[in-house]
Each structure stands twice: as C-alpha cells, then as structure tokens.
Amino acid sequence: MKPIFKGMCAAAAASALVIGVSCSKKAHENPFMKPYDTEFQIPPFEEIEISDYMPAFEAGIAEANAKIDSIVNNPEAPTFDNTIEPLSHLSPTLERVMSVLMALVEADSGEELTKVSEEIMPKYTAFSDEMMMNPGLFKRVEAVYNNIDTTRQPLDERRAIEETYREFKLKGATLPADKQAELKKVNGQLTDLYLKFNKNLLNANNAFAIFIDDKARLQGLPQNTIDNAAKEAENRGKKGQWAFTLHAPSRLAVLQYAKDRNLREQMWKGYTSNATQGANDNRPVINQIIKLRAQKAQLLGFKDFAALMTSDKMAGSAEAAEDLLMKIWEPAKAKVKEEVAEMQALSDAEGNDFKIQPWDYYYYAEKVRMQKYALDQAAIAPYFAVDSVRKGIFAMANKLYGLTFEEMPDAPKYNKDVKVYEVKDAQGKHLAVFMTDYFTRPSKRQGAWMEELKTSWVNKDGSVERPIIYNVANFAPPTGDAPALCTIDDVQTAFHEFGHALHGMLSRARLRSQSGTSVDRDFVEFPSQFHEHWAFDPEMLKEYAHHYKTGELIPDSLVVKINNAAKHNMGFMTAELAGAALLDLNWGHLNPTGDIDVSAFEQQVADKLDMPAELTFRYRSPYFKHIFGDEGYASGYYTYLWAEQLDADAFELFKEKGIFDKATADKLRAVLEAGGSQDPMVLYRTFRGHLPDPDALLRQRGLK
C-alpha cells in the first residue's frame, strides 16, 4: 500500500537577474499554488523556480493540517467516507510540490535543489509523524476499523481500512506519548541520514574518474564507450585523454571489454570502494542508520528492524525471506564454481598465469559467451538503438493490451533528454501520460526506476483521473553521428521499468491509495520482472530490432544466439543478487550498542555464506542505495527474488498458451488494473489457477 499521504534540477533553475525589466512584465506566479493548466496536468517544469518550493510546501502543509483537523473534529460518527478516504488526498498543493521535488531530486538535481530538499524533507517527516501519531485521528481510524462491515462494505474499502489501521500502528499511533516523542526524534534523524547518504553517494560517483592518456590501453573497448570517455575527459578539463567513471555504461564496459587487466582492476576497486573516502564516506552514516533503525524497531515492539519491515509483506517474516534466498543461494553458488572453472580454463589456454579475480569475471564471462555461443555484443548493439527499444516496449503494450503511444513534442519536460507520450487504450481514449528519461548524467542518481507525477483514481461523481508515469534509466548517451545503443542488460532494464509503468498506466483501482504500484513490496516487482520476458522473444524482436543504419531486421541467427545464451553467467548474476539480499537482511537483524566495522561485517556475512572468492555482493553497503538511501527496500531487497517466483511461474502459462494470447493477456491485465484493491495472492491465484511454483524460478535461471 502507498503511504497514506504520498508525496511525489536543473529544470528548476533559479531565476536570472534581469536589468531594465519593464514594469508591465507579468509577475511570476508560483505554479504549485493552483491546478496546472497544462494538457493532462503535466507539471509546467520550465516555469518552476527554486524559490517556489518552500512557499508551496508550507501552504500545502497548512492545507493538509486543516483537513486533518476537520476529520478529527467532525461531529459525525467515523466512517470510511469521512475518515479513511480523505486521508489519501489531504492537500493538492502538497501533492504537486512533493511529486516534482522527489522526481527531480533523483533524476535531475543540482546544488540548489539539494539544499531545498534538505530543508523540506525533515519538515515533511515531522508532518507525517504528527499525523500518524495524532490521537484524535487514530481514534477515528480505529473506530472505523472496529466497525468494518464484512458483508456489505466493498472489498477495496475493507482493505483500505485494514491497511490504514495497520499503517497507523506501525507508525507509532498506539505508543505512549513519551515513546512517540522518541520515535519522532528517531524518524527525523533517519531522514537527515538518508539525505546525507544519497548526497555522499552522488558526490562520490561524480568525483571518481580514471584518466587514460595511452590509447593502447583502450584495446577491446567499444567505440561508443571510447567516444564517451573522450567527451567525459574534455568535460573534466583533460581534452585529449579518456575518462572512465562509475556510471554504469562506463564502468561495465571497462569490466566487460577492456583487455588491460590493470584498468579492469582499477575500475573494480574504485567501484567496490565507492563512497568510503573523505567527506563522502558513507560508513559512519550507515552506523548511525543501523542504530536508529534498531531503536525504532524496539520502540514499535519488534525484535529487530528486519522483523518490523517484513511484518506487513507477503513473506510475513525475515525468516521466510531468508529461507527462499538460501534455496536460491546454494544452487547459484554451485553454478558460480562451474562458470569460474570455464573462465579459468579459457584464461589458462591464453597462456595467462593468474587466478580469476573479481575484476576478471565480467571480462572472461564475455569471452566464454563468445566461445560457447559466438555472441558478440558489438554485433548486437546496432539493432538496439534506444529509439528502437522504446518502439519495442510500445509494441509489446499494443500487442498485449491494445495501447498506443503518441509523442507530445511540445509537452513540458524537466530535461531535454525526456520524451513525453500520450497513452491511449484500444478504444482511442486517453489512458495516461508516459515519460522516458534514459541517459546518464551527473545530475541523476545511479540505477533505473519508475515513478508517477500523478496517480489515478475515481472521483465521487464517477469521473476518472488518469496518471502521469515516468521511467528513468542510465544508458550511455549518443556519441557523434551514432544513436545511443543499448546493451542486453539495458534492453532488459527498459522492459523491466516499463512493466512497472504498465502497472501504473493500466490501473483501474477506484481508490487513489490502491492505485497501480500501491501493492505489497514483494508483489510490486512481479509486473516489472514479468514483462522482461518479451524483450528477446523472437516474435517480439521482429517488431523492433532493426539495424539503426540499414533498417535491416535482426537476423534469425543472432536471435538464436541471444536466446541460447540467455542463461549464460546466471550463477554469477543470481548469487550476486541473492547475496546482496541476504546482506540486507543481516543488517536488519542487528541491534548494535557500538560502532560496526562495515567492511568486516560484510566479510562475516560472506564467510557465513561461503561466498566464492571471485564475486562480491551486488552492492557494497556504502553505495547500497536501495537499503540505506531510504526505507523503501530496507530489509526488503529480497523482494526481487520473491516476486520472481510469481513471474517465472506466470510466464510458463504464456509459453503454454502463446506469448500474445489475448485471453491470457486479458487475465493478466485484470491483475494490473486491480492495483492494491485486492489481496495480491488472490489476484495471482485467480490469474494462474494455482499458487506460484517456487521451482519455476530455478528453472527460469537454469539452476534446476
């Protein structure tokens, strides 16, 4: 479920000093202070100034507090309509300003916007705490909960009541006043630490660079990587050299293709020590976060933070999550040994006298792929230009759900890289606005994600509000005359995040608190991972994989190679992911009294798992943003693999019926449209006809 009140930069640059302005010039109006007059209520990004955020935020908080007071002081008996439902829409002003702030601080931030967020977020946390611990408000929520009509009340309302009541309890509503004060203090401190962690990480990412002045050291690297490295060096004041950074397109290309082993080692060590030095060292921040999370869990009556964070998930407990992870970890670890043996044999055959190390893994995995499957990534890339991949995700949505996408070139956007589309259903009616923001830049955090600038719901009069959804990624930008070309991982990422977007776009949930991705955290990754299956399906590739120069359709021979190699290196990828999820839960089990040596703790977990020496966790703790940048995936990184049980089992039905079988797609669409209005396992069982088969995940990954 979404939090009861869900908040949703270069684009918001400070206004320039203008000399000699005519007195007739229209004064600036704060765009957040009234409904946007743009088409489909897209935020007018170009009109927003840094000075607009705080006044709008303060006005929104005042609106929200007035609404809360009106709920608490309502003389009528508490009901869903006068107590629960209003909590999901306390202030349109606050919704507008927070949705834009949170979008841009992640995707296109700058020093000024960062300062604004550092002022606003603690105040927002304090507001949320005051609301969730308001005794008069909780008394009304509890009264509604105690009087649920299990026979006549609609199911979505019953779920909303139950989840609202549960959320209030988990946020401290039942604690005595002194404990509530302590919890508020802890939450405020955590908010500051999350901001600090993210700021340190962004700064550390941008500060790191490996400069190369010898062209011979570039052997093996793709030309677009070399071109981008030259541009990066020039931007950093070293024209004529090449600069490689920790941003994924640069980092992964070096690890996968660079013949220079020292360069690979330098990159690997730079990445795995990210955010551990100087002012950007996140290890002290992690120590403070862990202590405060343990304190928070104990205040709320849980044995540890992991127990708190899994209590309201499908898994139900950290132990259930760990049980699943260990069932995956052991076969994945065994597969890693097989993969390393193949790499070592290949390296030995080349006359090398070294043992495979972690910085060799990507490089020799790619060599083994070439040897076993004759699959050359450089030969594939021209068929996966970013625009072609975008065409592919749109084609999938059309063939499965009848959706069409029309570009809106004049729509407001927060960065020139953003593209905006109107989404229409099979009847040609407006369904959503969809934005893509695919290229890496210093103002954007690492990774890929989906969010919404506006959610969907049904008004009391029956009118429908439709959402504004966006996808963000970090693909390599275009260079010279060549378009941006995607790697296999990039293509999967685009389909993954678009699966989340479809969950938001297709939503027909009546209540805004249950719209789209407002589902259990360990169910939210099901639609995203599920739609990855279409990325390289032969039938799907015919829709979008055309050579960017010639327009030639990807040859059948390449399609066969891509799919034959689909499970290549799966031991490494699975162990890396499962290991990170287990590290996350181990952090969640701690109740420390003193400081913890972060690196030593990671090694203890690795030793306990008997982790192969050739790999490490997918994310080391100082840059594990999923779990230390906020609480969204904290003690919940396992949910990717938990949801994969569902997606692997579900896709077996499509393989049986046909990947574009309309009846099966319609049944799946019903799951996506429901959002959080029904129990996710009930939705899944209705779609699939049975509970998910856990072994489907192992089959999908070639581990069984």
For residues 462 and 451, give the distance between their C-alpha atoms in angstroms, rounded to a whole number. Answer: 25
User: Strand locations in 224-362, DSSP E?
Assistant: 242-244
Tokens of 149: 């009509």
Among 427, 456, 459, 496, which Cα is nearest to 647's?
A: 496
The yes-or-no answer on residue 497 being catalytic is yes
* CA distances, 594 to each of 282, 285, 326 (Å): 17, 14, 29
For residues 48 and 315, give the distance between their C-alpha atoms in angstroms, rounded to a whole number. Answer: 42
348 contact partners, CB below 8 Å, separation of at least 6: none
Among 509, 450, 422, 426, which Cα is nearest to 40's?
A: 422
For residues 483 and 485, give the distance between their C-alpha atoms in angstroms, rounded to a whole number. Answer: 6
613 contact partners, CB below 8 Å, separation of at least 6: 358
Burial class (CB in 10 A: 0-12, 13-18, 19+), 547: middle
Tokens of 20: 């000699």
CA atoms within 13 A on the CB side of 621: 27
Burial class (CB in 10 A: 0-12, 13-18, 19+), 426: exposed
Q: Are 511 and 87 in contact (CB under 8 A)?
A: no
Among 492, 519, 467, 498, which Cα is nearest to 677's?
A: 519
Active site residue: 339, 366, 451, 497, which one?
A: 497
Q: Are 420 and 435 in contact (CB under 8 A)?
A: yes
For residues 632 and 621, give the distance between their C-alpha atoms in angstroms, rounded to a whole number. Answer: 16
User: Which spans in 220-260 are helix H?
Assistant: 223-235, 248-257
Q: Which residues are catalytic?
A: 497
